[in-house]
Chain A
Amino acid sequence: MRGFSTVLVERGDLATGTTGRFHGLLHSGGRYVVKDPKAAEECYAENVVLRRIAADCIEDTGGLFVTTPADDPGYADRFLQSCAATGIPAEEIPAAEALRREPRLNPRISRAIIVPDATVDAWKTVWTTARSATEHGAQILTYHQVVDMTRDGDTVTGAVVRDRSGAEVRIRAEITINATGAWAGQIAAMAGCEVKVLPGKGIMVATNHRLVNMCVNRCEMPGDGDIIVPIRTVSVIGTTDVQVADPDDWPITRAEIDEMITAGEALVPGFREARTLRVWGGVRPLFQDDAPAETRDVTRAHAVLDHKTRDGVAGLVTITGGKFCTYRLMAQDAVDAACKALGTSRPCHTADEPLPDSQDQSFYHISSRLAGRERTLHADQLICECELVRRGRLVAEIERREVPPSLDDIRRALRLGMGPCQGGFCMYRATGILHEERHLSAAAADDAMLDFLQERWKGVQPLLHGDQLRQAWLDDWIFQGVLDVEHLPHVEPAPADAPAGHDVPSRVQLPAQERKSARERRAAGQRGSGQQRPARSQKRTQP
Chain B
Amino acid sequence: MTEIDRRTADVVVVGAGLAGLTAAIRLAEAGLRVVTVAKGLGSIRLSPATIDILGYGPDLVHEPARELQGFLSAHPGHPYSLVSPVQLAASVQWLKEHTDGTAYVGDPDANMLLPTALGVPRPSAVVPETMAAGDIRKSRSVAVAGFSVLKDFQPDLAAENLQAAAAALGFGMTVRPLHLNTRVNGEADVSSLALARRLEDTAFRNAVAAELTAGLRDEDAVGLPAVLGLDQAASVWSDLQAMVGRPVFEIPTVPPSAPGMRLAKVLQDRLRHAGGRLVLGSEVVGAEVQGGQLAGVRVKTAARQLAWMCRWVVLATGGFASGGLAVDLSGAVSETALGLPVSGPPPDEPLFLPRYLDEHPMGSVGLKVDPLLRPLAYDGEPVHPNLYAAGAVIGGARPAREKSGDGISLSTGYLAAGIILQEAG
**Is there any pair of Cβ atoms, one from A and one from B, under 8 angstroms apart in the complex?**
yes
Contact B353 A506 (CB under 8 A): yes
Chain B residues numbered 313-332 whose CB sits less than 8 Å from any CB in chain A: 319-321, 323, 326-329, 331
**A533 CB to nearest chain B CB (Å):** 7
CA distance A532 to B401 in the complex (A): 10
Closest to B330 in A: A465
**Do A436 and B154 have beta carbons less than 8 Å apart?**
yes
Question: Chain B: residues with CB nearer than 8 A to chain A?
Answer: 46-48, 56, 58, 116-122, 149, 151-152, 154, 156-157, 160-161, 164-165, 167-168, 186-189, 252-255, 319-321, 323, 326-329, 331, 350-359, 399-401, 403, 405
- Evaluate whether A446 and B161 lie within 8 angstroms (CB atoms) in the complex, with A428-B117, A429-B151, A532-B56 already known: yes
Quick one: which of A267-287 are within 8 Å of B by CB?
A: 272
Number of interface residues of A (CB under 8 A): 66
Bound complex: CA A443 to CA B165 (Å): 11
A380: chain B residues at CB < 8 Å are 188-189
Chain B positions within 8 Å of A443 at CB level: 164
The answer to whether A435 touches B157, judged by C-beta atoms less than 8 angstroms apart, is yes
Q: Chain A residues near B255 (CB, 8 Å)? A: 425, 478
Among residues of A, the one whose C-beta sits closest to the C-beta of B150 is A381
Q: Is A436 a contact of B254 with CB atoms below 8 Å? A: no
B125 smallest CB distance to A (angstroms): 15
Closest-CB distance, B400 to chain A (whole angstroms): 4
Distance in angstroms between the alpha carbons of A363 and B164 in the assembled complex: 49
B154 touches A429 (CB 8 A): yes
Cα A505 to Cα B117 with chains together (Å): 32
Q: Select the stretch in A77-85, A129-137, A194-202, A487-495 that faces chain B.
A: A487-495
On whether the beta carbons of B327 and A378 are closer than 8 Å, the reply is no
How far is B167's CA from A461's CA once the two chains are assembled, in angstroms?
Answer: 35
Which residues in B have their C-beta under 8 angstroms from that of A482? Answer: 47-48, 116-117, 252-254
CB-nearest residue of chain B relative to A452?
B356
Contact of B350 among A382, A458, A506 (CB under 8 A): A506
Q: When chains A and B are docked, how far (Å) is the Cα of A486 from the Cα of B400?
A: 10
Q: Which residues of B contact A339 (CB under 8 A)?
A: none
Chain A residues near B161: list those with CB within 8 A: 442, 446, 488-490
Are A442 and B327 in touch, CB under 8 angstroms? Answer: no
Complex-state Cα separation, A381 to B194, whole angstroms:
14
Neighbour of B154 across the interface among A391, A432, A478, A480, CB < 8 A: A432
Majority secondary structure, A binding face:
helix
Contacts of B187 in A (CB 8 A): 378
Q: Which residues of chain A have C-beta atoms less than 8 A from B164's C-beta?
A: 442-443, 489-490
Bound-complex Cα distance A394 to B153 (A): 17
Q: Which of A381, A484, A505 contacts B116 (CB 8 A)?
A: A484
Q: Which residues of B contact A383 (CB under 8 A)?
A: 151
A429 lies within 8 A of B118 (CB): no
Known pairs A380-B188, A466-B329, A481-B400; A441 contacts B160 (CB<8 A): yes
Q: Are B329 and A507 in contact (CB under 8 A)?
A: no
| Interface class of chain B by DSSP | loop
Q: Is A127 among interface residues, defined by CB-CB distance under 8 A?
A: no
The 7 closest A-B pairs by CB, nearest first: A432-B154, A535-B355, A442-B160, A504-B354, A506-B350, A457-B356, A489-B165
Q: Is the CB of B355 within 8 A of A483?
A: no
The residue from A445, A466, A505 contacting B354, defined by CB atoms under 8 A apart: A505
Bound-state CA distance A23–B350 (Å) is: 28
A235 at the B interface (CB under 8 A): no
* Smallest CB separation, B310 vs chain A (Å): 28
Question: In this complex, which of A436, A442, A473, A482 has the most chain B Cβ atoms within 10 angstroms of its Cβ?
Answer: A482
Q: A441-B160, A446-B161, A477-B46 are in contact. Are A489 and B400 (CB under 8 A)?
A: no
When A429-B152, A432-B154, A507-B351 are in contact, do A465 and B401 touch as well, CB less than 8 Å? no
For A391, give its contact among B48, B118, B151, B254 (CB under 8 Å): B151
Contacts of B116 in A (CB 8 A): 482-484
Residue of A nearest to B328 (CB): A465
Instruction: Name the distance in Å between A327's Cβ and chain B's nearest Cβ.
Output: 33
Asked if residues B354 and A506 are in contact (CB atoms below 8 Å), the reply is yes
Q: Are B355 and A454 in contact (CB under 8 A)?
A: yes
Q: Is the CB of A381 within 8 A of B151?
A: yes
A261, A379, A486, most chain B CB atoms within 10 A: A486
Bound CA span A433–B153, Å: 10
Contacting pair B321 A473 (CB below 8 A): yes
- B156 touching A432 by the CB < 8 A rule? yes
- Assuming A379-B188, A490-B164, is B355 touching A457 (CB within 8 A)? yes
Choose among A379, A485, A528 the residue that contacts B355 (Cβ–Cβ < 8 A): A528
Q: Are A483 and B120 in contact (CB under 8 A)?
A: yes
B353 touches A484 (CB 8 A): no
Given that A378-B189, A507-B350 are known contacts, is A470 also in contact with B118, CB under 8 Å in the complex?
no
Give me 8 other A-B pairs in contact (C-beta within 8 A), A379-B188, A428-B154 excluded. A383-B151, A442-B161, A466-B329, A480-B401, A481-B48, A483-B118, A487-B165, A490-B161
Q: Give CA–CA (A466, B331) in the complex, Å.
A: 10
User: Which residues of chain A come closer than 8 Å to B254, judged between CB atoms?
Assistant: 425, 428, 478, 482-483
Residues in A neighbouring B46, C-beta threshold 8 A = 474, 477
* 8 Å CB contact of B357 from A378, A433, A464, A486: A486
A473 / chain B contacts, CB cutoff of 8 Å? 319-321
Residue of B117, B252, B321, B331 with most partner-chain A CB within 10 A = B321
A421 → chain B closest CB, angstroms: 11
Whether, in the assembled complex, A90 has its beta carbon less than 8 Å from a beta carbon of chain B, the answer is no
Q: Are B157 and A445 in contact, CB atoms less than 8 angstroms apart?
A: yes
Residue of A nearest to B329 (CB): A465
A337 CB to nearest chain B CB (Å): 42
B149 partner residues in chain A, CB cutoff 8 A: 381
Q: How far is the CA of A471 from the CA of B320 in the complex (A)?
A: 9
Known A431-B157, A482-B116, A505-B354: A530·B189 in contact at CB below 8 Å: no
